[in-house]
Chains A and B, each alone.
Chain A
Amino acid sequence: MKRKLRVARYIKNFRVRLYLIFTGTIALLTAAFVSFYVLTDMRSYRSTLEREGRLLATILAQNARLPLFAENTEALTLLAEGTARYPSVLCVTIANVDGVTVAKARNKNEQANDIIEMKVDITSPGQVLSPESVLLGNAGSDEQRVIGRVRLSLDTSGARERLIHLVAASLAIGTLFWIFVSLLCYQILKRVTFSFNLLMGGIEEIGSGKLSARVDLDGDDELGRAANAINAMAASLELRELENLALQEELLKSMRLEVQEEKKLVMARLIQTNKMTSLGLLLSSMAHEINNPNASIRFSGHMIGKMWGDAVPLLDGVMQEEGDFFLGGVPYEKARAAMADNAAKIVENSERIARVVHGLRDYGVGGGAHLRQKLEINSAVSAALSVLACQIRRDVQLTTSLGTGIPVLNGSQQQLEQVLINLILNAMQSFADGRGGVHLSTRYDSSSCEVIVEVQDNGVGIKPETMERLFEPFYSTKLERGGSGLGLYISQYIVAEHGGRLQLTSAPGKGTVARVVLPATPPSVGGVIPAKDVEHPADPLHQVR
């Protein structure tokens, strides 16, 4: 594996690649030249052999002309043997015009595989005429008369030996040449790629992150200029790196501070949320603890009223018979009415306690949140105000202007009450000195078929930068005063769930208007709420000072 990686690394090396390409090309060229040389030489050798054979056969044909004409077999045999002494000649045959062999001579006994057959006709010169023709002045013709044939068998086994020697010699020379040129190429490439490797080393060092490294390459050629450019780039990067480090450090510092601040805020929110949860649980528990005795009180009130009703005729009869008498230090005449009133008040106040407790429990536990029902917006407003009755301080003037002809809505009254409570509480907490006025109004916009509830205060208003974050969860400007940062967030969610929208418009120093716009069915379809303008003084029993 390591070896493979090492080989792969070497192959990817530019110098090694160039060297391989050069040596490969030289090897191919050398092989091509050697092959070409061997082929050419062998062809030339064969051609020379054939030419030599043809020459020998021609000479033999010339020399054998007269002996063949004279049928001098001995002379022909001598000529054939003389020709057969040549190393390349395997067999010599001289035949007459009829094809009958007149003389034959062999040089070697062994049979050669590759033989070149050479045939040359023995001709008498055409320009030689008969004496009669010559005396008549006839010129000789070029026509040659064939009188026999010389056939030479040439042994080409020498060519094979020559081929082997030639290939061996060519390969040896070619290999030496290749080695020499390869070494030369290596030296040249080493010199040529030295600067390149230096440049690459510098680039790799810089690329690995060591920006202080520089390419130590002098010269005014392309590589030198590239090295200068890379050095300049590295210096620039180094400077930027230092700047970045400084900035990063500053950022980290500021982030640490911000995180600490944020942490504080989050912790405050968590505490507030925890408080709210605890409050919810407390409210539920209180409601349970109050409801039981309250039910007993109400029952007792009812029983007292009932029993008083039964006792009054008897007591009236006693008074008629015996005259007026005192009950609990009060004359019967006054006690008779006061007792009935007190019993009724016991029941009424007990019921009121039950309603308040029920409201508190629903707010804390969220009971009935998912109920969708036909509701009247003015009822929701009244319920919210009844919940907040104890929160309304004497310095805050709360006025309502409830519209008429408002169609009933389809939704959860408890959820809308929660929205209104949040908005009214926000309005009441918007006064710098705790004094101000909150005006709550409802109306129906028949053109858009929407019910609009507005909570308007003349408090300090909201800063623009705060406006952008009002609906973020856990964002509050009153965390230190018990704010959770969830009121507007939840309110917007509830209003959106009802298909409406919650809008806040504020002018710093002038006050804020919180507007809840809810879709409604037309009045002809649903019911209509009668208008009523009321001022809600602070509850003397629950007034907060």
Chain B
Amino acid sequence: MQFLKILVVTLLLLLPLPAFAYDVLVLQSMHEKGYDEAVNGFKRECRASMRRLVLTDYAEADITRITREEHPKLIVAVGDRALELARKQRSTPVLYMMALNPRPRTGVTGVGMLLDPSRYLFVFDALGTGKVGVIYDPARSGAYLKRAQSAASRNRIDLVLREVRSAKETPAMLQSLRGKVDAIWMLPDTTAVSPASTEAYFLFSQGERVPVVTFADIYLSMGGAVALTIDRHDIGRQLGEMALEVLDGTDVDDLPAGFPRRVVTRTNDGVVRQLDLAGRL
């Protein structure tokens, strides 16, 4: 009888232990609607056991200790901050999504937030614009621009580049493009596109009568002509597929970092009509 009592107590004490055993640790930068959409997409695709950790809920999260104690098979970093934290440990492979500047390295891969440049170039090609002005910060978007330039050269599109290192330079750089471009490519570069300078793109577009192709449909209401928008839920699903492969034993380094596969294209009909682009789209 005494033995039975000890057995029951031991079983009760060991009962929570299975809860700490999971395959995927989801590190989310903050409570954000976009992140939640992506995580939901990820969960739909990847049914593995996971623990979700929102960093803003903790004063400081010791990822090294967590991975040592809880032994997740995979870390999914959602957002730049989560990716930066996940990089601090090297024992567990990391998949990222919704990160603007991922800088992949060994053991780290994922799906970025930037679309494949060829998607944009396809639009420019459709618009028939030969010279496309791009303002960017080399530190942030230099690599992306290299890929874009190589793709542009294939499509016979001339990218007229202007580098900025401070957001205040953007209006002046835009002025320098006056009369030299047929369209403006608005990159999701936080230096080139700041809240204060965003208006300059559309004033330029209005003054020079050139379309602005941007990365979010919110800019259409400000005067953008075409917006190529990412699908955050699909990014989650895309990363979920990668996670399944990793959980199935595929090495992370064998999985190249990818662009979001699904693109939503929207246009501002008013702007398109005013710029006489209706027949081209």
Contacts and interface: CB of A to CB of B under 8 A. Distances in A.
Query: Are A and B part of the same complex?
Result: yes
Interface of A: 65-67, 69-72, 124-125, 127-132, 134-140, 145, 147
A131 B232 contact: no
Interface string B94-108: 000010100000000
B199 A135 contact: no
A336 B232 CA distance: 204
A135 B196 contact: no
What 3 A-B pairs are tightest by C-beta distance, nearest first? A136-B34, A131-B188, A70-B171
Interface stretch (B19-27, B148-156, B215-223, B242-250): B215-223
B169 A138 contact: no
Interface of B: 32-35, 37, 80, 98, 100, 113, 167-172, 187-190, 193-200, 203, 215-216, 218-219, 222, 230, 232
Contacts of B216: 131, 134-135
B34 A137 contact: yes
A137 B171 contact: no
B168 A134 contact: no
A67 to B, nearest CB: 7
A136 B203 CA distance: 25
Given A72-B171, A128-B222, A135 B100 contact: yes
Given A67-B171, A70-B170, A137-B33, A132 B196 contact: no
10 contacts: A67-B171, A70-B200, A72-B171, A127-B218, A130-B194, A132-B113, A136-B232, A138-B32, A145-B196, A147-B196
B230 A66 contact: no
Tell me which of B33, B34, B35 has the highest count of chain A C-beta atoms within 10 A of its own C-beta: B34
A128 B188 contact: no
B100 A70 contact: no
Contacts of A135: 34, 98, 100, 113, 188, 215-216, 230
B171 A145 contact: no
Contact of A134 (B33, B200, B218): B218
A135 B187 CA distance: 11
Contact of A132 (B37, B100, B168, B198): B100
Contacts of A134: 188, 215-216, 218-219
Contacts of A132: 80, 100, 113, 188, 190
Contacts of A65: 196, 199
B196 A69 contact: yes
Given A69-B196, A135-B100, A137-B37, 12 more contacts: A66-B199, A66-B200, A66-B203, A69-B171, A70-B169, A70-B172, A124-B196, A131-B189, A131-B193, A134-B188, A137-B34, A139-B218
B32 A136 contact: yes
B168 A70 contact: yes
Tell me which of A69, A124, A127, A137 has the highest count of chain B C-beta atoms within 10 A of its own C-beta: A137
A128 B198 contact: yes
Contacts of B222: 128
Contact of B197 (A69, A129, A136, A139): A69
Given A125-B195, A128-B198, A128-B222, A136 B98 contact: yes
A125 B221 CA distance: 13
B221 to A, nearest CB: 8
A137 B264 CA distance: 13
Contacts of A124: 195-196, 199
Contact of B168 (A69, A128, A129): A69
A140 B220 CA distance: 13
Contact of A125 (B113, B168, B199, B215): B199
Contacts of B230: 135
B196 to A, nearest CB: 4
A155 B153 CA distance: 59
A67 B190 CA distance: 19
A132 B215 CA distance: 10
B168 A138 contact: no
A71 B222 CA distance: 23
A67 B199 CA distance: 11
Contacts of B98: 135-136
Nearest to A62: B199
Nearest to B101: A132
A424 B164 CA distance: 166
A202 B214 CA distance: 102
A65 B203 CA distance: 12
A498 B188 CA distance: 151
A140 B193 contact: no
Contacts of B170: 70
Tell me which of A66, A69, A138, A140 has the highest count of chain B C-beta atoms within 10 A of its own C-beta: A66
A134 B198 CA distance: 12
A67 B187 CA distance: 22
